[in-house]
């Protein structure tokens, strides 16, 4: 019987995304406070005659099936480091919104790394997996680690954060996606148009909010709601003005805080407790401002093998 290994990996929400100026290399320094939430993709690795990608679930049609897929790139990177032919089929069961600002592609990369490492018996140390993650993308290391963390640099330099409680979230999934590079370009354009400038010489170095970190540590949802920020939100709203109605519908339904998740277009709403989250979800579903509504809690664990 052919052995398969399945890894489960969570989505994320950025409770703070502070974006520095445009660097000469085209990237931006970040103070990125990640919280993993309980919406999961599963990546199953099975021996095959060549590298193949298959996808099922919501928006599967929007996921590339070639070697541009981050999960495929993860398998290729791990195989290259260990002198292995990447003869594996990776099946991605999608439950994280695609191109929704919740790191679905990054999650798949981390899941593929964990699943292939177990399938091939490479026994790669955590430091090696994190190095590969950082090569693949800014959000991939956090998808491996999960929980809560502060990301510096491009977001890949992680410091784990303490959380004092479970936080309740509602996510409004928009029709279609948003390109993360396009949102960063719009952020730079808006900053330049405002006259403040968009480069590292113009924009202060991004720093995490002490009040936000304290709210996470103490588990205070109301304090966290008062501190959440996303510097990419004006750019996401500029590209997708309809998101303003979604944010308004969520706050009108009782959310403590509303923000665009990462580069969007998914919108995230913090609720006081499970009952309040259900009420917010009901209000959003009735508002007609989004395609789907999901409820989840965080922090959630990072990428891990769940079946072999």
pLDDT digits (tens, 9 = 90+) for 109-139: 999 999 999 999 999 999 999 999 999 998 9
Domain CATH code at residue 89: 3.30.230.10
139 is catalytic: yes
Domain termination site, one of 136, 161, 186: 161
Shared domain check, 129 and 20: yes
Shared domain check, 236 and 136: no
pLDDT band of residue 1 (cuts 50, 70, 90) is very low
Closest residue by Cα to residue 22 from 135, 233, 181, 208:
181
Q: Kindly report the backbone phi and psi dihedral angles of residue 125, in degrees, each rounded to the nearest multiple of 5, phi listed first.
A: -65, 160
Q: Kindly report the backbone phi and psi dihedral angles of residue 110, in degrees, each rounded to the nearest multiple of 5, phi listed first.
A: -65, -40
Does residue 306 belong to any structural domain of this protein?
no
Shared domain check, 151 and 191: no
Catalytic residue among 29, 108, 139, 188: 139
Catalytic residue among 12, 41, 59, 94: 12
The count of domains in the chain is 2
Q: Binding site annotation covers 98?
A: yes
Q: Binding site annotation covers 43?
A: no
Does residue 253 belong to any structural domain of this protein?
yes
Does residue 31 belong to any structural domain of this protein?
yes
Domain that holds residue 259: 167-298
Q: Binding site annotation covers 208?
A: no
Give the E-state strand segments of the chain in sequence order: 5-22, 28-47, 52-57, 88-94, 148-152, 157-160, 167-173, 229-230, 257-260, 267-271, 292-298, 304-307
Shared domain check, 192 and 73: no
Shared domain check, 150 and 182: no
Q: Is the pLDDT of residue 179 over 50?
A: yes
pTM score of the predicted model = 0.94
Shared domain check, 144 and 228: no
Shared domain check, 267 and 193: yes
Average pLDDT over residues 262-272: 95
Q: Which pLDDT tens digit goes with each residue over 83-114?
A: 999 999 999 999 998 888 899 999 999 999 99
């Amino acid at each position: 019987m052919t052995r398969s290994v399945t890894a489960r990996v969570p989505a994320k929400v950025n409770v703070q995304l502070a974006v520095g100026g445009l660097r000469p290399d085209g990237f931006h320094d970040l103070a990125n406070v990640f919280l993993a939430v309980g919406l999961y993709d599963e990546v199953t690795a099975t021996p095959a005659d060549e590298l193949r990608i298959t996808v099922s679930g919501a928006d599967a049609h929007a996921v590339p099936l070639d070697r541009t897929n981050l999960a495929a790139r993860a398998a290729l990177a791990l195989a290259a480091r260990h002198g292995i032919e990447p003869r594996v089929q990776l099946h991605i069961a999608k439950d994280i919104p695609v191109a929704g600002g919740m790191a679905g592609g990054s999650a798949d990369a981390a899941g593929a790394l964990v699943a292939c490492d177990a399938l091939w018996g490479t026994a790669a140390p955590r430091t090696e997996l994190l190095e590969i993650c950082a090569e693949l993308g800014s959000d991939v290391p956090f998808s491996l680690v999960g929980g809560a963390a502060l990301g510096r640099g491009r977001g890949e330099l992680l410091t784990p954060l303490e959380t004092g409680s479970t936080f309740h979230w509602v996510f409004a999934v928009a029709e279609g996606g948003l390109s993360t590079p396009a949102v960063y370009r719009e952020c730079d354009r808006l900053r330049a148009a405002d006259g403040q400038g968009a480069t590292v010489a113009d924009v202060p170095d991004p720093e995490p909010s002490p009040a936000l970190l304290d709210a996470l540590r103490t588990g205070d949802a109301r304090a966290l709601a008062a501190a959440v920020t996303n510097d990419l939100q004006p750019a996401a709203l500029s590209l997708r003005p309809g998101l303003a109605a979604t944010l308004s519908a969520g706050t009108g339904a009782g959310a403590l805080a509303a923000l665009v998740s990462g580069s969007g277009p998914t919108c995230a709403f913090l609720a006081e407790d499970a009952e309040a989250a259900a009420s917010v979800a009901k209000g959003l579903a009735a508002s007609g401002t989004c395609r789907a509504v999901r409820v989840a809690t965080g922090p959630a664990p990072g990428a891990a093998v769940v079946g072999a």
